[in-house]
Homo-oligomer: A and B are copies of this chain.
């Protein structure tokens, strides 16, 4: 297998009549899906969007989103999935940065697309997957594009291996978005790694609930096609609808963002549904509170796997899978392992390093930075050779994440390097504070971060969203944390919010919480 298009040809030949794509009432088999992807690929080539040209996608989850991924690969184009929550100016900045020639989108984004074009997005043509929309550019409906593509003879592009397949822009919790270049070889290695690690087989049914423009879900588009498994799509997340899809379509496995899991686990009657088909829930895209892990296992009664990854690494870097000898441990101890960040993913060499590059002790106390290397690590940042060079140390990618390692090789992330709070000479890892707060029965969500403090340099502050119908005072929550952690780790102040600010991929955007407190200062640490 040299390129991602090979996966489609494989599934088409081995599983042609398998009804493997389910989106509401729409069901497609692999032969139909492959024919559509082929015609769209052919169309992209006709429109000169081949051989490394960029094609943006601004799409909800669905069969056509998957088809766009494959069509770009077949055409030899580089697919550029766009975050559906971005503002027009942000979309335009990305499309300009990678000079995307074509856009595949749907009519619900018409207004955003028109505004992005006004902001200078360089798209010259648009394919609308549902119906024709005027955006001042040459436009095609998908039906027109498929008909056009079907008329031309098609030969798949020879691109593959170390050629770039995708350029994903990082969600930008801090700084300017950068385009992460993933090659065909990166995505294929990650897929094969996942098939092995998660024992993915043809009878599996993956629920695409997390956003497909983000790698927490997008990787499954490739791994599950490879083995001829089934794809279930939820266009846009809503907790009840996600539960209904998974139950009705007998999903066997999925990867959800912790905030989604939180909402789903708390949905009334979630635990009473039929989860007999479900064998595993993965959580990824953001850290998870151990209290939520226990809740997930209770509600869904299936295996839980914590995941940690980055766009730069295709994405998984660790999975909290158990070893054989763990299976005889009491449930609580198994749960404690599952709630860890995890041990290295199959395709990855992972070191937790001191500043001098040596490895930290495996005592689950000494903190170091995670560095990784392997077949799933990106080729670099689009058009940013200096940033790319800075990201690597001796061939290893520096993740910026701080972690400890236990004697068994399981990593636990204690913080993003940039989220560490330096208070009175002590390192406070914000996740620690957040996990303590999250365990309080009235707390729905929370985020801890550092703010300038005359005396301490920085002090801990937290933003909290309370559960509906529950109350708690700031004093009560501070005491709660003090009862659980060293006193200096307790927040000095708590803000009660209706919701936490989030990035498009669902990560809590700490910069938005932190910035007001730091305005007028040049540095963001004290």
Residues of A317-334 whose CB lies within 8 A of B: 323-324
Taking CB atoms, residues of chain B closer than 8 Å to A374 are: 1-2, 6
Asked whether A13 lies within 8 Å of B202 as measured between CB atoms, the reply is: no
User: Which stretch, A36-44, A344-352, A450-458, touches the partner chain B?
Assistant: A344-352
A178 within 8 A of B: no
In the bound complex, how far is the Cα of B347 from the Cα of A188, in angstroms?
A: 9
Interface string of A152-168 (1 = CB under 8 A from B): 00000010000000000
In the bound complex, how far is the Cα of B374 from the Cα of A185, in angstroms?
A: 11
In the bound complex, how far is the Cα of B39 from the Cα of A373, in angstroms?
A: 24
> Which one, B1, B347, B409, contacts A1 given CB within 8 A?
B347
Asked whether A373 lies within 8 Å of B196 as measured between CB atoms, the reply is: no
Asked whether A349 lies within 8 Å of B9 as measured between CB atoms, the reply is: yes
A15 within 8 A of B: yes
**Known: A193-B192, A203-B324. Contact between A408 and B347, CB under 8 A?**
no
> Which one, B2, B346, B409, contacts A192 given CB within 8 A?
B346
Taking CB atoms, residues of chain B closer than 8 Å to A344 are: 10, 14
> Which one, B13, B158, B185, B196, contacts A227 given CB within 8 A?
B196
A375 within 8 A of B: yes
A228 within 8 A of B: yes
In the bound complex, how far is the Cα of B193 from the Cα of A344, in angstroms?
A: 18
In whole Å, how far is A405's beta carbon from the nearest beta carbon of chain B?
9
Taking CB atoms, residues of chain B closer than 8 Å to A474 are: none
Asked whether B323 lies within 8 Å of A226 as measured between CB atoms, the reply is: no
In the bound complex, how far is the Cα of B188 from the Cα of A189, in angstroms?
A: 10
In whole Å, how far is A348's beta carbon from the nearest beta carbon of chain B?
7
A302 within 8 A of B: no
- How many copies of this protein are present in the complex? 2
Residues of A356-395 whose CB lies within 8 A of B: 373-375, 395
Q: Which residue of B lies closest to A395 (CB)?
A: B158
In whole Å, how far is A70's beta carbon from the nearest beta carbon of chain B?
15
A200 within 8 A of B: yes
Q: Which residue of B lies closest to A362 (CB)?
A: B13
Taking CB atoms, residues of chain B closer than 8 Å to A375 are: 1-2, 185, 188
A132 within 8 A of B: no
Residues of A174-196 whose CB lies within 8 A of B: 185, 188-189, 192-193, 195-196
A201 within 8 A of B: yes
In the bound complex, how far is the Cα of B6 from the Cα of A373, in angstroms?
A: 10
Asked whether B346 lies within 8 Å of A226 as measured between CB atoms, the reply is: yes
Q: Which residue of B lies closest to A407 (CB)?
A: B16
* Most chain B Cβ neighbours within 10 Å, of A15, A192, A373, A408: A192
Asked whether A323 lies within 8 Å of B15 as measured between CB atoms, the reply is: yes
Residues of A208-235 whose CB lies within 8 A of B: 226-228
Q: Which residue of B lies closest to A17 (CB)?
A: B325
A343 within 8 A of B: yes
Asked whether A2 lies within 8 Å of B373 as measured between CB atoms, the reply is: yes
In the bound complex, how far is the Cα of B189 from the Cα of A323, in angstroms?
A: 23
A355 within 8 A of B: no
Taking CB atoms, residues of chain B closer than 8 Å to A522 are: none
A-B contacts, 13 of them at CB < 8 A, read A1-B347, A2-B373, A2-B375, A6-B374, A14-B408, A188-B375, A192-B193, A192-B346, A192-B347, A195-B196, A195-B346, A203-B324, A226-B346
Q: Can you list the 9 inter-chain pairs with the closest CB atoms, starting with the nearest? A: A195-B196, A192-B192, A13-B409, A196-B196, A14-B409, A202-B324, A1-B374, A203-B324, A6-B349
